[in-house]
A and B are shown apart, each in its own frame.
Chain A
């Protein structure tokens, strides 16, 4: 029986074709495996959502399926790491950071095992799937765990570069990534060094610290603000921990005002991390922390949510203008 489907039809297993950056994780792992790096991956019934199916196709013995048992998967990844492998453990960021928090802390971070945790569909990118599937707490939770590196790449190219760099990084890592629809920020190969921010500019009027999905709209907002005569720079703080303190200090000494933007609660994430540095040095300019204002997101398609919470380019620009208006005399 041949049924021609409507060209608009699609189903779950075709996700890869619909989300251009979704294959980055698997492609990079395939490259690393081909170069004889001891990478393996574990998944909890989301191998299409995170694209690891592409890794399984090329390296069928290296992807271990755990079904819907995320905590079991994370502890098993720790066990795998003790045998000389570098396991990549992927699931939705909400499940990874909240459900598996203790397994991550005790079995992986405290045990100093080189597991790479991939929290995908982070922030509010799962839109109308609702709060159970949103992760606006993961950065705060993960950055409070000692000996765990926390990274939120801006796009697929930076994710690829970060995964590649992780081969030589001794600590376990939490990667906070998006849903594979991320707009392109960087040409390949993207610049990436753990703990070293990518400085797109330090503005005399304003410097915006952004991470993950917020880098692209922050850059667009800055461009528009510059066109209007404001000296605005953007810093891509892809590594939330260890934070690039030097660039924060440098911006604090140059810019009249500062702003952070993240697809995360304004408490404890990138904005919190930057605020801690500013408090440490003292006498710093005002910091506007922009993100989700300690509340649960509405449901809506992701792009509608970004507009609603002023996390798109236009929204970030409007928050930046308010910040510029609040600043003291030059």
Chain B
């Protein structure tokens, strides 16, 4: 598929800089919020910071201050443990008061480790139990089509999540129902709690799996904001008439932006003491968390 002539094949310097800044913001806010909770999923957020930034600042149709706008694009997370990186973006959309961020995970605050649609405006679906999100996304895509609403549904999945059977039941159903306006993005950071995905339960050949399940599969560098934005922009129009749902395999680095996290998968869950927090923030800011 070649890029449509009406769409530019590159982003302006300003656009790229903006998206990089948003990814930087996701990382620095994640460090700040986890400091409140004193435990959190740094490296799981760092692998998908550019994906969050591109979706929420470039691709998705949203309305400021209207988290329940019926025609908004939907976003669901199979890897709900990365929610701490999403909350600051939702607050920036004025979906809830920014002050809530300061009480992240504290008694009575709506913002927990996993996103909760019942408590947090802007969270389109709750998650925490890995494997449900793609199915729920199917329901939204079916509802959108039946009601004639023109929204797209994006589902962020972890690569370890590919081990859940429900994901493949959903993959089969989505292509059967021709949900061309449903996009799954796999954060292919290659690590899960017990080790590398390859060692725990190998999921390869991943692209072939999605293809044989009837999906239109694309692979991209998940930290290249320009490539991500161009791909998702190109795929955006015509979802309702497209025959196949879209799977984007985003190749990422767990802990991206902080050298010692990139080298140690144990940072899936952890806490940075003040000195290491400074070190991590300095690194994130030095190269913008980006290459």
Contacts of B118 in A (CB 8 A): 110-112
A22 CB to nearest chain B CB (Å): 25
Chain A 56-74 interface mask (CB, 8 Å, partner B; 1/0): 0000011010110101111
Contacts of A61 in B (CB 8 A): 146
Of B74, B117, B139, B144, the contact of A76 (CB 8 Å cutoff): B139
The residue on A at minimum CB distance from B143 is A83
Chain B interface residues (CB < 8 Å from chain A): 70, 74, 117-118, 124-126, 128-129, 132-133, 135-144, 146-147, 149, 166, 169-170, 172-173, 176-177
Contacts of A73 in B (CB 8 A): 135
Q: In the complex, how many residue pairs between chain A and chain B have their CB atoms under 8 Å apart? A: 102
Q: In this assembly, does A52 line the interface, its C-beta being within 8 Å of a C-beta of chain B?
A: no
Contacts of A111 in B (CB 8 A): 117-118, 125-126
How far apart sit A200 and B49, CA to CA, in the bound complex (Å)? Answer: 62
Of A71, A85, A87, the contact of B135 (CB 8 Å cutoff): A71
Chain A 66-108 interface mask (CB, 8 Å, partner B; 1/0): 1101011111111111111101000000000000001100110
How far apart sit A104 and B153, CA to CA, in the bound complex (Å)? Answer: 22
Chain A interface residues (CB < 8 Å from chain B): 40, 61-62, 64, 66-67, 69, 71-85, 87, 102-103, 106-107, 110-112
Contacts of A102 in B (CB 8 A): 129
Please name 24 pairs of A and B residues whose Cβ atoms are closer than 8 Å in the assembled complex, sorted by A: A61-B146, A66-B169, A69-B166, A69-B170, A71-B135, A71-B169, A72-B169, A72-B170, A75-B132, A75-B136, A76-B173, A77-B139, A78-B139, A79-B125, A79-B140, A80-B139, A82-B74, A83-B139, A83-B140, A83-B144, A85-B147, A107-B126, A107-B136, A111-B125
Contacts of B169 in A (CB 8 A): 66-67, 69, 71-72
The residue on A at minimum CB distance from B136 is A79
A72 CB to nearest chain B CB (Å): 4
**Known contacts A61-B146, A71-B169; A79 and B128 CB within 8 A of each other:** no
How far apart sit A117 and B133, CA to CA, in the bound complex (Å)? Answer: 19
Is the Cβ of B172 less than 8 Å from the Cβ of A69?
A: yes
Contacts of B147 in A (CB 8 A): 83-85
Contacts of B126 in A (CB 8 A): 106-107, 110-111
How far apart sit A179 and B220, CA to CA, in the bound complex (Å)? Answer: 51
How far apart sit A85 and B142, CA to CA, in the bound complex (Å)? Answer: 10
**Known contacts A83-B149, A111-B126; A66 and B140 CB within 8 A of each other:** no
How far apart sit A67 and B133, CA to CA, in the bound complex (Å)? Answer: 18
**Known contacts A83-B149, A102-B129, A107-B126; A78 and B136 CB within 8 A of each other:** yes
Contacts of B128 in A (CB 8 A): 106
Is the Cβ of A69 less than 8 Å from the Cβ of B146?
A: no
Contacts of A64 in B (CB 8 A): 142, 177
**Known contacts A82-B124, A110-B126; A76 and B138 CB within 8 A of each other:** yes
Of A40, A74, A106, A112, the contact of B129 (CB 8 Å cutoff): A106
Contacts of A74 in B (CB 8 A): 135
Is the Cβ of B146 less than 8 Å from the Cβ of A107?
A: no
How far apart sit A110 and B129, CA to CA, in the bound complex (Å)? Answer: 13
How far apart sit A72 and B165, CA to CA, in the bound complex (Å)? Answer: 9
Contacts of B177 in A (CB 8 A): 64
Of A66, A75, A82, A107, the contact of B143 (CB 8 Å cutoff): A82
